[in-house]
Amino acid sequence: MSSMSHTIERMTVGELQITLGLTALYEGFDDQRIINDDSVSRPILEMTGIFEYFNSTRVQVIGNQEMELLDSLEPHVAEERISKLCSYTDIPAIVLSRSRQAPQYMIDRCRESGIPLFSSASITTMLIANLSRILREYFAPQTNMHGVMLDVKGIGVIITGESSIGKSETALELVTRGNQLISDDRVIVYEVEPGMLIGKAPRVLERMMEIRGLGIVDIMTMYGAGSFRQKKSLSLVIQLVEWTKQIDYDRIGLQTQQMQILNTMVDRIILPVRPGRNTATLIESAALNQKLRRLGINSAEAFIERLSQSISQSEIGEEGTGVDNE
């Protein structure tokens, strides 16, 4: 079984800016500022002067409604509202939608309070949806798995196994066949909701593979943009093991094995490796078979049913050809 270690990853304001392509409205802010809440707020109530229910740990999104409300106020009142908002110095960041330009007093108050201020080209609803999705992923329960993850025929597969068994070499062959690399050596797996696991590469390992004898290779540079994918839902774990005669491996596939990752059960296949077996072809076949299972087609059960029908028909045929000698 693959080794797993639980991790907690938190997003910084700088990472949020890069991920969403936000434009900073002033320079010199702390891009290592940590976001500790996965929820997003619109401070429209606060723009009316009501701060009793304000949650300052959330990223604040200011859209057309908030800006129109500010514009309707007397200039000194609008500035007081923003000054009051920025007095909550634990606000992770403030983001304006629709590429709105912040009034100078808003920029000044944010700079004085150390609150990063950004602008986004997205409309407000889309901005909030993207923020919520990204933050939910970062705050989801996470674990590290040792192995290689690929998108094989549309199925998210993690290949695990002992060191030197050929995981990366097999993954490289799968990439040359048109499948997509997600991560080599270490996979971050997070649970966005019960039953839904997503795998991705640590940022430093994105697109990279380590191949013994070749060293570190950049998959996207070698095989094109289509050879790499940032993340993928996890459906199958394939554990490569050394072939040994002492173990009776499943030859039909009736028994579906599973393993627990975080709080989700994932199908697992133990695949014995020995000279003469094309491991990449077997993994592609396993992925396609997994896709059939999703559609309610179980190849092993279909084979057993077909075999049973054949046996039954043979028995009926033998009974029908019996001769009565009396």
- Convert the pLDDT of each residue in 8-64 to its tens digit: 567 899 999 999 999 999 999 999 999 999 999 999 999 999 999 999 999 999 999
> 185 catalytic, yes or no?
yes
Q: What local confidence, expressed as pLDDT, does residue 208 receive? A: 94
Pair 172, 264 in one domain:
yes
Pair 274, 174 in one domain:
yes
Q: What local confidence, expressed as pLDDT, does residue 305 receive? A: 64
pLDDT band for 326, please (50, 70, 90 cuts). very low
Q: What is the mean pLDDT of residues 220-232?
A: 94
> 167 catalytic, yes or no?
yes
pTM of the complete model: 0.72
| The amino acid at 231 | K
Q: Are 110 and 26 in contact (CB under 8 A)?
A: yes
Of the candidates 76, 212, 245, 251, the residue annotated as catalytic is 251
Give me the percent of the chain exceeding a pLDDT of 70.
84
Q: Are 43 and 70 in contact (CB under 8 A)?
A: no
Cα torsion angle, 122, 127, 133, 135, sign: positive
Q: What is the mean pLDDT of residues 257-273?
A: 92
Pair 131, 224 in one domain:
no
| The amino acid at 155 | I
Q: Scanning the structure block, which residue is given the tokens 């839902």?
A: 233
Q: What local confidence, expressed as pLDDT, does residue 5 receive? A: 52
Pair 163, 294 in one domain:
yes
Pair 176, 102 in one domain:
no
Tell me if 216 is assigned to some domain.
yes
pLDDT band for 273, please (50, 70, 90 cuts). confident
Q: Which among 139, 171, 204 is the end of a domain? A: 139
Tell me if 321 is assigned to some domain.
no
Q: What is the mean pLDDT of residues 300-310?
A: 63
Cα torsion angle, 281, 287, 291, 293, sign: positive
Pair 163, 192 in one domain:
yes
Dump pLDDT digits (tens) for 78-103.
Answer: 999 999 999 999 999 999 999 999 99
Q: Which among 86, 112, 139 is the end of a domain? A: 139
227 DSSP assignment: G
Closest CA to 1 of 144, 146, 141, 142: 146
pLDDT band for 289, please (50, 70, 90 cuts). confident
CATH of the domain at 157: 3.40.50.300
In our burial notation (b when 16+ CB lie closer than 10 A, e otherwise), range 56-85 reads bebbbbbbeebbebbeeeeeeebbebbeeb
- Written as six digits, the tokens of 106 are 């808003």
pLDDT band for 312, please (50, 70, 90 cuts). low
Known binding residue 168? Answer is yes
Tell me if 26 is assigned to some domain.
yes
Closest CA to 200 of 241, 226, 230: 230
> What is the Cα gyration radius of the chain?
28
Q: What local confidence, expressed as pLDDT, does residue 311 receive? A: 66
- Strand intervals (E) in 3-128: 4-7, 23-24, 40-41, 59-62, 94-96, 117-119
User: Please, what is the average pLDDT of the chain?
Assistant: 88
Q: Which uninterrupted H or E stretch holds 303?
A: helix 299-320
Pairing mode of beta strands 142-146, 4-7: antiparallel
> Containing domain of residue 272, as a range?
142-302
pLDDT band for 1, please (50, 70, 90 cuts). very low
> 76 catalytic, yes or no?
no
> 146 catalytic, yes or no?
yes
Of the candidates 84, 98, 146, 231, the residue annotated as catalytic is 146
Q: What local confidence, expressed as pLDDT, does residue 255 receive? A: 54
Tell me if 259 is assigned to some domain.
yes
Distance in angstroms (rounded) separating the CA atoms of residues 284 and 290: 10
pLDDT at residue 169 tops 70: yes
Q: What is the mean pLDDT of residues 309-318?
A: 64
Pair 73, 184 in one domain:
no
Pair 133, 148 in one domain:
no
- Strand intervals (E) in 94-153: 94-96, 117-119, 142-146, 148-152
In our burial notation (b when 16+ CB lie closer than 10 A, e otherwise), range 246-261 reads eeeeeeeeeeeeeeeb
Of the candidates 81, 100, 153, 167, the residue annotated as catalytic is 167
Pair 46, 74 in one domain:
yes
Tell me if 313 is assigned to some domain.
no
Q: What local confidence, expressed as pLDDT, does residue 254 receive? A: 46
Pair 127, 234 in one domain:
no
DSSP string, 155-192: EEEEEEESTTSSHHHHHHHHHHTT-EEEESSEEEEEEE
Pair 120, 149 in one domain:
no
Dump pLDDT digits (tens) for 116-137.
Answer: 999 999 999 999 999 999 998 8
Of the candidates 31, 108, 185, 267, the residue annotated as catalytic is 185
Closest CA to 226 of 161, 291, 175: 175
Q: Which uninterrupted H or E stretch holds 200?
A: strand 196-200
Q: What is the mean pLDDT of residues 126-153?
A: 94
Known binding residue 74? Answer is no
Pair 22, 116 in one domain:
yes
